[in-house]
Chains A and B, each alone.
Chain A
Amino acid sequence: MSYTAEEIAELKALCPEAAEGKEGSTTVLVLPSLSLPSGCVPPVVDALLWPGMRDNYPSRLYLSQKVVKPGAAQPNWNSSARILERNWHAYSWNLNRTDLRPVQMVAEHLRGLQ
């Protein structure tokens, strides 16, 4: 799987240093310094979008550290993984759809932190 220039451009509007990476046969998207919804601590982390099926989720958004939300319900962190030689953490958030563009996937996953 590879991404169109338009899809990458959409991601760069969200995250200027967005780039593709290859893990096995899957092309993932690395999103350095992604801004998180307000109230998250820390407010900015590196992220990685796994765009296909993994852990029985149709896609997953991994963050470089477990984010906390002071005074609010905490995300259910249920996966840690080593991808592109780096450790990542993902919270349980099931999009239940596979027809989204990458930037839409990221936005939908971030709703889990609102």
Chain B
Amino acid sequence: MKADIRLLGSVYAAAIADLSRPHPVAAERVGFISVALGKLSPNHFLLLGHGYTAVPDAHYLDYPRAGACIGPDAIRAAMQRILDTGAGQLHVHLHDHSGRPRPSRTDLRDMPALVKSLNVVGPACAHGAIILSSDRAWAQVTVPDSRQLFDASAVTVVGFPLLFLNR
């Protein structure tokens, strides 16, 4: 199974701008990227990121043991967005450094449960998680044919300049 993620340049710019903003209680911010799903071949999926949605300040919980902790309102909003638009959702946050980002223990523990919830309301969509750094990315996704998270093979920003974030 293979999946490439391509983000519109405007979506990537919106995500970076929002995720870089300070938050009153959280040390980092979270957002969601809406993705359309296509197939390049039977086992090669293409996720097209076409929209970015910020998590409102009030949907964060004050939980200092994590960089950011979003509450049920934020997750319900993401699930409703799937129902309203039919677009899959990629949870996105920023590790503010250069170089390849790595998921933290918290990311690896909590992300599968979130993605499982998204799959319940959008079983025909691709969902997942993406971590951006200032110049690279890490991503795992699920697709309708496989509900197990697997690494995206490419994360590309479509625009000028064209950016390859996980080479």
Contact = CB atoms under 8 A, between A and B. Distances in A.
Contacts of B95: 23-24, 82
Interface in A59-113: 78-83, 85, 87-88
Contact of A79 (B22, B64, B98, B101): B22
Interface residues of B, number: 20
Contacts of B67: 82, 87
Interface of B: 22-23, 26-28, 64, 67-68, 95-101, 104-106, 133, 136
18 contacts: A24-B95, A24-B100, A24-B133, A25-B98, A26-B97, A26-B98, A26-B99, A79-B22, A80-B23, A80-B26, A81-B27, A82-B28, A82-B68, A82-B95, A82-B104, A83-B97, A85-B104, A88-B27
Given A80-B22, A82-B27, 19 more contacts: A23-B97, A24-B95, A24-B100, A24-B133, A24-B136, A25-B97, A25-B99, A25-B100, A54-B96, A79-B22, A80-B23, A80-B27, A80-B28, A81-B28, A82-B28, A82-B67, A82-B68, A85-B105, A85-B106
